[in-house]
Amino acid sequence: MTAVAHEPTTPAEGLLAIFLSLDTPEGFRAELIEGEIVVTPPRDGDHEDYIGLIVNQVIRRSRTDMQFSGNKGLKLRSGGGCPKDHVIPDGTFAPTQLRLFRGADSWMPCEGVSMVLEVTSTKPRADREAKRRCYARAALPLYLLIDREASSVTLFSDPEKDDYREQCTRPLGKPLTLPEPFAFDLETADFL
């Protein structure tokens, strides 16, 4: 007896099936954000440098030991009848003791994630708006955004519905306090 593949019955299921079957070129990332398939090119060196600077500080200075992934896809709640958002943050942090990444599929649930990180690139509006809404809907406690065009760093916290109720923005070069479980001032002088 041969198993029959489930045929999509709704437009949302059809979109999700198309998204999950994509074969993007090496280095490109495909995400499903608020019902739109978004493909981004490989990150540039400055983008990678910002991520590395943050990861180094989190690993060295965080009050809680943290794991990091720069490639882990997250399945997030969505709104408006869209399929679940499938987003790949530039960085995902979770307490090491949870071992969230061990054995996880390429698209994992976001429960247990402490903070996601984005550095603006070719589509900064997605990082500033659509991804912020996605992360808030998923109740991710902290969203750290490095905005290269604005030369700023913003920490979004206290998610409620489609947005975060709190945000703290500092110009690059000024420290930004990360709350528990991190509990340290993120230094951004090296970002200039």
Which pLDDT score is estimated for 53?
Answer: 97
CA distance 40 to 172: 25
Q: List the structure tokens of 22.
A: 């994509």
φ, ψ for residue 129, nearest 5 deg: -120, -70
Which amino acid, 112? G
pLDDT higher than threshold 90 for residue 5: no
pLDDT higher than threshold 90 for residue 74: yes
Q: Quick check: 41 and 27 in contact, CB under 8 A? A: yes
Which pLDDT score is estimated for 79?
Answer: 64
Q: What is the widest separation between alpha-carbon atoms in the chain?
A: 64
Tell me: the pLDDT tens digits for 84-99? 899 999 999 999 999 9
pLDDT higher than threshold 60 for residue 65: yes
Spacing of C-alpha 183 from chain mean position: 20
By percentage, how much of the chain surpasses pLDDT 90?
72
Nearest to 81 by CA among 156, 10, 8: 10
Half-sphere exposure of 161 (CA within 13 A, CB side): 2
Instruction: Give the number of residues written for the chain.
Output: 192
First-to-last CA distance in the chain? 62
Tell me: the pLDDT tens digits for 139-189? 999 999 999 999 999 999 999 999 999 999 999 999 999 999 999 999 999
Domain ranges of the chain: 43-191
Nearest to 72 by CA among 96, 38, 97, 102: 102
CA distance 52 to 27: 18
CA distance 135 to 61: 24
Which amino acid, 12? A
Which amino acid, 84? K
Which pLDDT score is estimated for 13?
Answer: 84
For domain 43-191, which architecture applies? Alpha-Beta Complex (3.90)
